[in-house]
Every structure is written in C-alpha cells, then in structure tokens.
Amino acid sequence: MQRSLYKGFFIVNKTGIPDDWKVLIKNKVLHGHLSAVKKSIDWWDETGSIILPREFGDMGETVLNEKRDKSQSDEYKGYAIKNDTGEPKSWYCLYHGKLAKGSLAAIKRFLDKHEK
C-alpha cells in the first residue's frame, strides 16, 4: 500500500495502479490519478468546494508536461491570472472566492472595474 500526506489529507493507493489513488474529503471518497487527486485537494483548500479528480481530465505525466509547456500566468493588482491551455480566452482568476474566466484583457478590465 502506498500512502502520501498532502495538505493534511492522507492519499492512499492499495492496488498500485496509477489511477487508483483515494482521498477522503468531507465524507466523500475521491479517486483518480495522484496528480488529479492533489488538484482536487488544492481546489477544496482554495474554494471549499469539491471537484472530482476526473473533472481535471487525464492527469498522466505526458499531459502534465504538455500543460506545463502551455501554461501561462500573470499578476495584476495582486491577483494571479492563469491560463493552463494556451488558448486566448482560457484565462481564469479567483476573485473573492468566485471564478472569473475569459481573455486576459477582459479579466484585467473586470478587475479594474471592481477594484477601485
């Protein structure tokens, strides 16, 4: 049995299969690839809501390497604006616990409008 501690949560893999990692969050068992399970824990930690690991797609190492190559980030008025896909309208930002999505310019205009 493999076991990992991440942000206060124990993640276990009893079978040794790469996509069989499990974690218990708020009485709900989430399972999937280790990277996707950690992403679910990150999401819970940042927003307080549960997103299933499968919602993050295939988080195998080849996919992670491709995403790292395409990912971009920008810092604006103290907010981190990110783009994981490289697509022009796939930028996102957490604004007071809510997700803002769109182009980089549109998110910056939104922040200008709401952060005076």
- Check residue 69 and give its pLDDT: 59
Q: Are 109 and 94 in contact (CB under 8 A)?
A: no
d(CA 33, CA 10): 14
Rounded to 10 degrees, the C-alpha dihedral 74/47/8/38 comes to -60
Nearest to 31 by CA among 44, 18, 42: 18
Please list the rounded mean pLDDT of every run of 10 residues in the chain (116 residues).
Answer: 91 87 93 91 92 76 52 90 89 92 94 85
d(CA 20, CA 110): 40
Identify the bridge partners of residue 30 per DSSP, sorted by sequence position: 23
